[in-house]
């Protein structure tokens, strides 16, 4: 495996590990493991247990075993697609963004397999206003990765291909 390839897999692995470790710390040692459990850290940020049975923004709620496994398969297929894209990607910034998405997706997929829901716990709020739903490290990594990909796709132009001079026909 080329060094550039290993670099992307390391980022994805690190995101996955930090996500799973943070969820374990919150639900294990800190005891925030049931609906209603929370820990106020600072005036704008709490740790609050929220089992997310849907996908992003609570869409497609998996309210049955069939839907749970359908979401596992769907998100697994997306993760495979992202892994293939990351493997083929040559741009280092795009590879890093894809690695963030992949590591986060794998963390949330493992939750859904183990628990039937994704463990969300990070609650950023300003008074009663919440700019985001309660989220986790995986969600943050996925969002940051997607934003990087979008910004790069919309606003960053890699070196333009140089014009090739027309080949003149040679008379034989």
Mean pLDDT of 90-118: 96
Mean pLDDT of the chain: 89
SS3 call for 119? strand
Catalytic annotation, pick one of 19, 94, 111, 120: 120
Can you point out the beta strands (E) in 19-141? 38-42, 45-52, 118-124
43 located within any domain: yes
Query: 34: domain range?
Result: 3-155
Catalytic residue list contains 46? no
Task: Measure the CA angle with vertex 37, ends 103 and 27; round to 5°.
Answer: 40
167 located within any domain: no
Mean pLDDT of 140-160: 90
The separation between CA 111 and the C-alpha centre of its own chain, rounded to angstroms, equals 13
pTM of the model: 0.85
pLDDT digits (tens, 9 = 90+) for 41-67: 999 999 999 999 877 656 667 778 888
- Say if CB 147 and CB 153 are below 8 A apart: no
Nearest to 119 by CA among 35, 29, 17: 35
Whether 36 shows a pLDDT value over 80: the answer reads yes
165 located within any domain: no
Catalytic residue list contains 111? no
């Amino acid at each position: 495996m080329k060094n550039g390839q290993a670099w992307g897999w390391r980022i994805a692995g690190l995101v996955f590990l930090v996500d799973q470790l943070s969820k374990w710390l919150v639900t294990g040692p800190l005891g925030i493991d049931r609906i209603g459990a929370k820990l106020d850290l600072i005036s704008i940020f709490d740790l609050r247990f929220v089992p997310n049975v849907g996908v992003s923004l609570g869409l497609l709620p998996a309210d049955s075993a069939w839907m749970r496994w359908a979401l596992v398969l769907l998100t697994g297929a997306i993760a495979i697609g992202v892994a293939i894209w990351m493997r083929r990607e040559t741009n280092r910034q795009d590879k890093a963004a894809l690695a963030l998405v992949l590591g986060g997706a794998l963390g949330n997929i493992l939750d859904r397999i183990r628990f039937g829901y994704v463990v969300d716990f990070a609650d950023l709020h300003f008074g009663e206003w919440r700019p985001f739903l309660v989220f986790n490290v995986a969600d943050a990594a996925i969002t940051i990765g997607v934003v990087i990909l979008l910004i790069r796709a919309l606003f960053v132009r890699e070196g333009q291909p140089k014009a090739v001079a027309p080949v003149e026909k040679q008379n034989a």
